[in-house]
Amino acid sequence: MRVMIVDDHATNRELCRFMLSHLVEHIDTFENGEGVVEAMQGMEHLPDVILLDVMMPIKDGFTTATEIREAFPNHHIPIIFLTVLDDHDSFERCLSLGDDFILKPVERSILVSKVQAHYRIVKMHKEVIQQRDELSHFHEQVQYDYSISESIFTNLMEEMSSQVSHIYGVNYISTPSTVFNGDLIVVANRPHGGAYVMVADATGHGLPAAISAIPATRAFFSMAAKGLSLGEIVHEINDSLCKFLPLGMMLAASVFEIRANGFEVSWWGGGLPDSYLLDKEGNIIKRMVSNHMPLGVLDSHEFENDIVHFKLEPDQQILCYTDGIIEAMNEQGEQFGQERLEEVFKTGQTHIPTIYDAVRQFSNMKAGDDLSILSMTFPIINGNDATKPSEDTYFSSVPMQTTLNFPAPILKQVSMMSEVRQYLSGTLNGGQHLDLVCSVLSELFANAIEHGLLHLKSSLKEDPDGFFEFYQLREERLKELTNDAWVKLDLNYEPDAKRLTMDLEHNGEGFDYHKLNMANSDQTHGRGIVLASELCDSLTYSKEGKRVSAVYSFGAKHHFPSSA
- Range 138-143 contact pairs with CB under 8 angstroms and sequence separation of 24 or more: none
Would you place residue 40 in the very low, low, confident or very high pLDDT band (cuts 50, 70, 90)?
very high
Using CA atoms, how far apart are residues 254 and 290, in angstroms rounded to an integer?
8
Q: Give pLDDT, residue 340.
A: 87
Q: Are 99 and 120 in contact (CB under 8 A)?
A: no
pLDDT at site 523: 43
Query: When comparing pLDDT for 383 and 238, which is higher?
Result: 238
Arithmetic mean of pLDDT over the chain = 82
Comparing 45-54, 200-209, 278-287, 317-326, the range with the smallest average pLDDT is: 200-209
Taking alpha carbons only, the member of 251, 209, 255 closest to residue 232 is: 255
pLDDT on residue 432:
64
526: left (phi over 0), alpha (psi -120 to 50) or beta: left
Per-residue pLDDT reduced to its tens digit, 99-139: 999 999 999 999 999 999 999 999 999 899 889 888 888 88
**How many CB atoms lie under 10 A from the CB of residue 73?**
6
Mean pLDDT score, 173-179: 63
The stretch 505-514 carries a mean pLDDT of 87
pLDDT of residue 16: 93
* Cβ count near 439 (within 10 Å): 28
User: Is pLDDT at 37 greater than 60 in this prediction?
Assistant: yes
How high is the pLDDT of residue 519?
46
Question: What's the rounded mean pLDDT across residues 305-311?
Answer: 80
Residue 525 pLDDT more than 50? Answer: no
Position 163 pLDDT exceeds 50:
no
State the angle between helix axes of 206-225 and 108-162 in degrees (0 to 180), rounded to the nearest 10. 20
- C-alpha to C-alpha distance for 173 and 356, rounded to whole angstroms: 9
The pLDDT, as a whole number, for residue 560 is 42
Ramachandran assignment for 75, one of left (phi > 0), alpha (psi -120 to 50 degrees), beta (any other) = beta
Question: Which of 187, 171, 169, 203 minimizes the C-alpha distance to 353?
Answer: 171
| pTM metric for this prediction | 0.56
pLDDT above 70 coverage of the chain, percent = 84
DSSP per-residue codes, 337-389: HHHHHHHHHHTT--SHHHHHHHHHHHTTT---S-EEEEEEEEEEEE---TTS-
Residue type, 546: K
- Residue 526's pLDDT band, with cuts at 50, 70 and 90, is low
SS (H, E, C) 396-408: CCCCEEEEEEEEH
| pLDDT interval class at 82 (50, 70, 90) | very high
Cα distance between residue 294 and residue 296, in whole Å: 6
- Classified as helix, coil or strand, 393 is coil
What percent of the chain is predicted at pLDDT more than 90? 31
Would you say 471 and 307 are in contact if contact means Cβ atoms under 8 Å apart? Answer: yes
